[in-house]
Amino acid sequence: MTTRYGLIGAGMMGREHIKNIALLPDTDIAVYFEPDDGMAAQTHALVPNAQRAKTVQALLAHADLDCLVIASPNFCHVDQLREIAETRPLPTLVEKPLLTHSADIPFVETLSTGFGAPIWVAMEYRYMPPIAALCERADAVTGGVQLLSIREHRFPFLEKVGDWNRFNRYTGGTFVEKCCHFFDLMRLVLRAEPVRVMASASQAVNHLDERYGNEAPDIIDHGYVIVDFDSGSRAMLELCMFAEGAKYQEEISAVGRQGKLECQVPGPGRFWPAHLGPAPLPRVIESPRHPAGPVVTETPVDPSLLAAGDHNGSTFYQHRGFLELVRGERAQPAVSLADGLMAVRMGMAAQESAAAGLAVSL
């Protein structure tokens, strides 16, 4: 029996969802809502038999839907979740960040008991093969992670319709928009809850010459965040969004009393500078405290999954789990509303700390 999806938002990430859903058996995009004609034309080329809805309400009225995917701009997520809750709750995969304004937190908290269908928050980085391997093996290799370091050196924010991602009021701020993935990973690896956030960040290079009416972009493009956890462990994020051509886009290091476990992940292949030769393969490095030598394991990704998106195959693995949830083969979402909300809270605290120059308690 075919599982039929409704897609809300069919821009760059929405089309990545379409490509990965197509790799799963007995699935179909039945209807999509995309207000931009250019984006809709590209979507039609991918799923010519899907209907284009003029509104979210029209999409929800489609008779045969089994589930929903929200891939709209960040600032739309809460209003669309509210519309779904009031009209027709269905199993929903909602892109990160879950919300962008603290005023919406009470509403999101009510959804965990009042929505009537499961909601899975999209955190693609959990499912990148080398990062998934680190998450699974961290405790065994380290003896319990005490120090976690995440470094992302990458390209600037991409162009979006209307360049909404140039402003904090639409994105929630860079530490919310871009980094909620990493705050989610911190909690996942450390198995602990954050208690204090300290950040230093600014806008140094990117988008300085851009103007939208009389406004200049206000998003930060680099920074550091340190997070203390209730277990006594600590984590640090280093972000730089003007580091195109870095050999690895993400480098994660987990250290404990028994040893160290690392993973290194290259960025999307379509952004790799051709003059640097072939892009490196993702890999995991295991380093016991008293080693004969580190053990390096390459974790190549199926080329068909790489071709379906920019996240090292993770979107496929995420959708495979979500499909199990929709079909009743899994009891709970792997990433809950509480997980998605805490990742945003941590990002908001980092934004506040960077602006005020003070530590922020959670």
Average of pLDDT values for 75-99? Answer: 97
Contacts of residue 203, Cβ cutoff 8 Å, sequence gap at least 6: 217, 218, 219, 220, 221
pLDDT in tens, 241-277: 999 878 899 999 999 999 999 999 998 878 777 777 8
CA distance 53 to 59: 5
Give residue 272's pLDDT.
Answer: 77
Mean pLDDT, rounded, of the chain: 95
What's the pTM? 0.95
Environment class of residue 161 by beta-carbon count within 10 Å: exposed (0-12), middle (13-18) or buried (19+)?
A: middle
Give residue 95's pLDDT.
Answer: 98
Per-residue pLDDT band for 340 (boundaries 50, 70, 90) equals very high
Give residue 111's pLDDT.
Answer: 93
Give residue 221's pLDDT.
Answer: 98
User: Is the pLDDT reported for residue 293 higher than 80?
Assistant: no
Environment class of residue 23 by beta-carbon count within 10 Å: exposed (0-12), middle (13-18) or buried (19+)?
A: middle
- The answer to whether 158 touches 12, Cβ cutoff 8 Å, is yes
Give residue 106's pLDDT.
Answer: 96
CA distance 165 to 221: 12
User: Which amino acid belongs to residue 163?
Assistant: D
H or E segment and range at residue 153: strand 145-153
* Closest by Cα among 109, 130, 135, 155 to 337: 109
Give residue 113's pLDDT.
Answer: 86
What are the structure tokens assigned to 168, written together?
């904090």
pLDDT in tens, 31-52: 999 999 999 999 999 999 999 9
User: Which amino acid belongs to residue 39?
Assistant: M
Task: List, in order of start, the domains of the chain with CATH numbers.
Answer: 3-124 (3.40.50.720), 125-310+336-361 (3.30.360.10)
